[in-house]
C-alpha cells in the first residue's frame, strides 16, 4: 500500500505542479464521494519507499463555509493520512502558514514543502528553514516544484517522519478564550464527546468558531453536551462583545496571525529589499488592469481565445467528421436498407460522432483557458468585469463561459458549460451553468441563417446583431431571476488573490487539458450515446406499415401529375416522420405552438433540434417534403418556407426567439447535469428553458400580429 500522503495548500502555491512532479503520469481524477469536488490521486516511488498521494482541494483555511474546506478536513479525519504535505509559497510565507497552523491544530502530522524558493530569492527574501522547522516543530523542505528541485528530499523527509506522531499545536488565544477552552476540553475529554474522531481542543475551538458542521455533529452525538458547549461559547461571545467589541471567531483568527508574527519576529525571514517596491507583476498590472487599456486588452484576449478555440480546432473537427462520414458510407454500402442500417448510421455512428466531434473543441478550449488561468490573467479578468456581472448575480469570471458558449456568435455551449469550472463560488457558478446555453452556438447559426435569408434578406447583418443582443440580455436577466429566486443568497465574497503573473509550464497545461477532455469522453460520452439512440428511435418508430405507405406511384398521382418517383419517396419520408413518436408529439403540440405561430412541421424540427440544433434545418426539410437538406446550403428550403402559408417575418422571428431560448441540446444538458452535480439541474434547464422560449415566442407572436392587424 505504501505511505499515504495528503497534499494540501493555498490556491496558487504550486500544489498542482508539485502533484504532477510527484506522480508524473501515474494519476487519476475522480470526485470525493457525494460531492462535485475533484479528487486527484496518484502513486510515486522514491528509493525503496512507495507513496500514495491524494491532492486535497486548494484552500486558504479550514472553515465550514466552503465545500472544498470541509472536504479537505473530512479527508484528514476519515482517511488519517500518514502525513499532510503542506505546500507553502516561500514568497508569500505569512499568509500560507495560516493554513499550516490549522492542520497542526487538528493534530495531524504535517511536513512543509517550502515551494518557490527561487521566486523568494529573486525578491530578496531569505528564509531560515531550520529555524522555521524548529519553531513550528515540523519538518520543512525547501524546493522548487516547477523544476522538480527538492522532490527526493521531500519524499525522504516524509518517509522518515511518517511514523512519528507529533504533538498537536496549542496556540494561546488570550486569557478569556484560553480559560473557556480549558474548561471545555476537560469536559469534552471526560465525556468522550466526538473524541473518536477529533482532538478535544479542536472540537472546543470549533464550538467557539460557530462551525456549522461540528455543531450539527455534536447535536446528534450528545445533545446535552452540545447545549452545554454552546452556552459556554455564547457566554464567552457576550463577554468579548461587551469588553473588547470583538467575537471569538475573529479573535481566534487574529491570534493565529499573531502566532505567525511572533515566529517571524524571531528572525525566520530576512528581506533585503523594500517591501513596497513594485514587482514585475505590479508593473504589468498597471497596464493590464488600466481603466481604458485594460478592457481593450481584455476584448482582444477574449477574441483571441475564441479564435483559438474555434478556428484552430476546425481542422481536427473536420478530420473527426470525415472519419465518421467514411464509416457511415462503409456501413451504407455493407448493410442492406432497413432498420439495422438506420440504427447503426443514424443512432450509433452519428451518436459517437457527436460525442467525439466535440473533443477537439473541448481540448482547445481547455488549453486556452488553462493558459489564461495558470498565467494569472483570468483573475484580472474577473477583477475588471465583476462590477458588471455582479449586477446580475454572477461573478466576473462568468464571462469566459458566456464567450465560449457563443457570446460571440458561433461558440458552443458544451465547452462553455465546462468553462464554468473556473468559477469558485457555487451559486454564481450554477447560475452561469444554467444561462450560458442561451448564447448563439455554432449549431443555432444555420437555423438563423435560413430564417434570416428567407424573411429578412434586406437587413441580414442588423437582424443577426439583434439576435446576439437578445441572447445576452436574456441570459443576464434570467441569471438575475434565478439568483433572486431558486439560487437565492448573498453574493459569495470576492476576497480573491491576484496571483503574480507566471509563464505556465507546457507539462502542466498538457496534463490539465488531457484530464478534462478525458473526463468529458468518459462521463458524458456514454450517456450521450444512449440518448442519441433514443432520439433516433423517437424519429423512426412507430413505422408506417405498407398499407399506410401506399404505392409510391399512387402517392405520386395524388400530387401534381408530373411527379417523379424520387419526389414521392420524399413525400413518404415526410409521412413516416409525422407517424413517428416525434411527429406525433409535434402534431399533438400544435394547438399550443400555434399561439407562437409554429405548425407541426416546425414542432418536429424543434424536437429534432434537441439532438443538435442544426438538425432543425434538416428535419424541417424532411417535414416539408424536400428530402435531405444540407444545413449549410438551405436555399430550396428557404424558398419553400417563403411560399408556405402561415410563414412570414413574424413567424420567422418568433421561431428565432424560440431557438435562442429553448432547451439546450442534450449534449449540453448532460454536461450541465454533470457539472452541477445533479440530474435535477439538467432536467430543470430542459423544462424551464422550453417554457421560457414558448412564453417569449407567444408573447412576441401575439403582440406582433395584433399590431400588424
Partner 1 sequence: MPYIPLRQMQVNQAGIITGIKARGELGTRLRDMGLVPGKEIRIQGKAPLYDPVSLRIMGFTLTLRNNEADHILVEVT
Give whichever of 43 and 281 is closer to partner 1, judged by the CB atom. 281
Residues whose CB falls within 8 Å of the CB of residue 519, separated by 6 or more in sequence, listed in order: 29
Among 31, 230, 257, 573, binds partner 1 (CB under 8 A): 257
Give whichever of 235 and 290 is closer to partner 1, judged by the CB atom. 290
Is there binding between residue 377 and partner 1 (CB under 8 A)? no
Cα–Cα distance between 656 and 488 in angstroms, integer? 30
Cα–Cα distance between 501 and 375 in angstroms, integer? 5
Among 48, 242, 276, 547, binds partner 1 (CB under 8 A): 276
Among 196, 387, 458, 546, binds partner 1 (CB under 8 A): 387
Cα–Cα distance between 488 and 393 in angstroms, integer? 9
Q: Restricting to residues 127-166, which ones interact with partner 1 according to CB under 8 A?
A: none
Is there binding between residue 213 and partner 1 (CB under 8 A)? no
**Span interacting with partner 1, options 218-226, 379-387, 609-617, 635-643, rule CB under 8 A:** 379-387
697 class by beta-carbon count within 10 Å (0-12 exposed, 13-18 middle, 19+ buried):
buried
Distances (CA, A) of 454 to 251, 554, 634, 650, 652: 69, 33, 10, 12, 9
**Span interacting with partner 1, options 14-22, 61-69, 218-226, 337-345, rule CB under 8 A:** 61-69
Q: Restricting to residues 479-498, which ones interact with partner 1 according to CB under 8 A?
A: 491, 493-498
* Residue recorded with cell 481542422: 315
| Site residue total, partner 1 (CB under 8 A) | 45
Is there binding between residue 386 and partner 1 (CB under 8 A)? yes
Is there binding between residue 253 and partner 1 (CB under 8 A)? yes
Contact 417, 411 (CB under 8 A): no
Q: Restricting to residues 286-325, which ones interact with partner 1 according to CB under 8 A?
A: 286, 289-292, 294-295
Is there binding between residue 65 and partner 1 (CB under 8 A)? yes
Cα–Cα distance between 70 and 57 in angstroms, integer? 10
Give whichever of 102 and 435 is closer to partner 1, judged by the CB atom. 102
Contact 556, 570 (CB under 8 A): no
**Span interacting with partner 1, options 36-44, 137-145, 247-255, 525-533, rule CB under 8 A:** 247-255
CA angle 38, 44, 48 (to 5 degrees): 155
Give whichever of 350 and 386 is closer to partner 1, judged by the CB atom. 386
Helices (H), 376-459: 377-390, 398-402, 413-419, 426-435, 445-455
Helices (H), 580-634: 581-593, 600-608, 615-623
Cα–Cα distance between 511 and 519 in angstroms, integer? 12
* Residue recorded with cell 416525434: 582
Is there binding between residue 247 and partner 1 (CB under 8 A)? yes
Contact 365, 421 (CB under 8 A): no
CB of 620 to partner 1, least distance (A): 44
C-alpha cell at 388: 458588471
CB of 382 to partner 1, least distance (A): 8
**Dihedral angle of Cα 573, 576, 580, 583, to the nearest 10 degrees:** 70
Give whichever of 77 and 244 is closer to partner 1, judged by the CB atom. 244
Is there binding between residue 274 and partner 1 (CB under 8 A)? no
Is there binding between residue 92 and partner 1 (CB under 8 A)? yes
Contact 504, 375 (CB under 8 A): yes
Q: Restricting to residues 603-662, which ones interact with partner 1 according to CB under 8 A?
A: none
Is there binding between residue 124 and partner 1 (CB under 8 A)? no
3-state class (DSSP) for residue 12: coil
Is there binding between residue 398 and partner 1 (CB under 8 A)? no
Is there binding between residue 98 and partner 1 (CB under 8 A)? yes
Which residues are near partner 1 by CB under 8 A? 60-61, 63, 65, 91-92, 94-95, 98, 123, 247, 249-250, 253-254, 257, 261, 275-276, 281-282, 285-286, 289-292, 294-295, 379, 383-384, 386-388, 390, 491, 493-500
Amino acid at each position: 500500500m505504501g505511505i499515504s500522503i495528503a497534499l494540501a495548500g493555498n490556491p496558487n502555491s504550486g500544489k498542482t505542479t508539485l502533484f504532477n512532479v510527484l506522480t508524473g503520469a501515474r494519476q487519476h481524477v475522480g470526485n470525493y464521494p457525494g460531492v462535485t469536488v475533484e479528487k486527484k490521486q496518484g502513486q510515486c516511488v522514491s528509493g525503496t519507499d512507495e507513496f500514495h498521494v491524494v491532492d486535497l482541494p486548494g484552500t486558504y483555511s479550514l472553515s465550514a463555509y466552503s465545500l472544498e474546506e470541509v472536504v479537505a478536513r473530512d479527508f484528514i479525519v476519515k482517511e488519517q493520512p500518514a502525513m499532510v504535505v503542506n505546500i507553502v509559497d516561500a514568497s508569500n510565507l505569512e499568509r500560507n502558514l495560516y493554513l499550516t497552523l490549522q492542520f497542526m491544530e487538528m493534530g495531524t502530522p504535517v511536513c512543509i514543502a517550502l515551494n518557490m524558493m527561487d521566486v523568494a530569492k529573486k525578491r530578496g527574501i531569505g528564509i531560515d528553514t531550520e529555524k522555521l522547522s524548529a519553531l513550528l516543530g515540523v519538518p520543512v523542505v525547501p524546493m522548487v516544484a516547477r523544476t522538480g528541485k527538492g522532490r527526493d528530499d521531500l519524499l525522504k523527509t516524509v518517509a522518515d517522519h511518517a511514523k512519528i506522531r507529533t504533538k498537536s499545536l496549542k496556540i494561546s488565544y488570550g486569557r478569556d478564550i484560553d480559560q473557556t477552552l480549558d474548561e471545555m476540553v476537560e469536559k469534552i475529554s471526560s465525556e468522550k464527546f466526538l473524541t473518536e474522531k477529533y482532538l478535544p481542543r479542536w472540537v472546543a475551538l470549533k464550538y467557539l468558531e460557530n462551525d456549522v458542521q461540528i455543531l450539527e455533529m455534536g447535536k446528534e452525538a450528545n445533545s446535552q453536551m452540545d447545549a452545554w458547549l454552546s452556552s459556554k461559547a455564547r457566554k464567552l461571545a457576550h463577554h468579548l462583545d461587551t469588553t473588547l467589541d470583538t467575537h471569538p471567531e475573529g479573535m481566534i483568527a487574529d491570534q493565529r496571525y499573531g502566532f505567525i508574527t511572533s515566529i517571524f519576529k524571531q528572525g525566520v525571514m530576512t528581506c533585503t529589499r523594500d517591501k513596497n517596491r513594485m514587482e514585475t507583476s505590479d508593473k504589468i498590472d498597471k497596464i493590464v488592469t488600466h481603466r481604458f487599456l485594460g478592457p481593450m486588452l481584455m476584448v482582444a484576449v477574449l477574441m483571441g481565445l475564441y479564435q483559438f478555440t474555434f478556428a484552430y480546432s476546425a481542422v481536427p473537427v473536420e478530420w473527426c467528421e470525415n472519419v465518421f462520414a467514411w464509416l457511415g458510407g462503409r456501413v451504407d454500402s455493407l448493410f442492406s436498407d432497413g432498420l439495422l442500417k438506420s440504427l447503426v448510421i443514424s443512432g450509433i455512428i452519428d451518436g459517437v460522432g457527436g460525442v467525439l466531434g466535440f473533443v477537439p473543441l473541448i481540448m482547445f478550449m481547455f488549453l486556452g483557458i488553462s493558459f489564461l488561468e495558470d498565467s494569472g490573467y483570468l483573475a484580472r479578468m474577473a477583477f475588471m468585469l465583476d462590477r458588471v456581472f455582479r449586477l446580475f448575480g454572477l461573478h466576473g469570471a462568468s464571462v469566459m463561459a458566456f464567450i465560449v458558449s457563443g457570446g460571440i456568435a458561433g461558440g458552443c455551449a458544451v465547452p462553455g458549460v465546462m468553462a464554468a469550472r473556473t468559477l469558485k463560488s457555487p451559486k454564481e457558478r450554477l447560475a452561469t451553468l444554467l444561462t450560458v446555453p442561451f448564447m448563439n452556438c455554432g449549431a443555432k447559426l444555420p437555423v438563423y441563417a435560413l430564417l434570416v435569408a428567407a424573411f429578412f434578406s434586406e437587413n441580414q447583418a442588423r437582424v443577426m446583431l439583434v439576435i446576439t443582443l437578445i441572447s445576452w440580455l436574456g441570459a443576464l436577466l434570467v441569471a438575475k431571476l434565478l439568483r433572486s429566486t431558486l439560487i437565492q443568497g448573498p453574493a459569495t465574497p470576492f476576497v480573491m488573490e491576484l496571483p503574480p503573473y507566471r509563464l505556465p509550464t507546457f507539462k502542466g497545461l498538457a496534463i490539465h487539458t488531457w484530464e478534462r477532455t478525458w473526463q468529458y469522453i468518459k462521463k458524458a460520452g456514454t450517456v450521450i450515446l444512449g440518448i442519441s439512440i433514443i432520439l433516433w428511435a423517437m424519429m423512426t418508430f412507430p413505422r408506417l406499415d405498407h398499407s399506410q405507405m401506399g404505392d409510391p406511384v399512387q402517392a405520386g398521382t395524388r400530387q401534381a401529375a408530373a411527379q417523379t418517383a424520387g419526389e414521392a419517396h420524399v413525400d413518404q419520408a415526410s409521412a413516416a416522420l409525422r407517424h413517428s413518436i416525434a411527429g406525433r408529439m409535434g402534431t399533438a403540440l400544435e394547438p399550443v405552438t400555434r399561439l407562437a405561430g409554429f405548425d407541426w412541421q416546425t414542432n418536429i424540427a424543434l424536437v429534432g433540434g434537441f439532438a443538435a440544433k442544426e438538425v432543425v434545418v434538416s428535419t424541417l426539410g424532411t417535414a416539408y417534403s424536400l428530402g435531405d437538406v444540407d444545413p449549410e446550403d438551405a436555399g430550396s428550403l428557404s424558398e419553400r418556407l417563403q411560399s408556405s402559408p402561415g410563414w412570414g417575418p413574424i413567424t420567422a422571428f418568433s421561431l428565432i426567439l424560440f431557438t435562442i431560448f429553448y432547451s439546450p441540446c442534450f449534449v449540453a444538458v448532460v454536461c450541465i447535469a454533470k457539472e452541477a452535480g445533479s440530474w435535477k439541474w439538467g432536467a430543470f434547464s430542459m423544462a424551464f428553458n422550453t417554457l421560457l422560449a414558448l412564453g417569449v415566442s407567444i408573447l412576441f407572436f401575439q403582440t406582433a400580429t395584433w399590431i400588424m392587424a
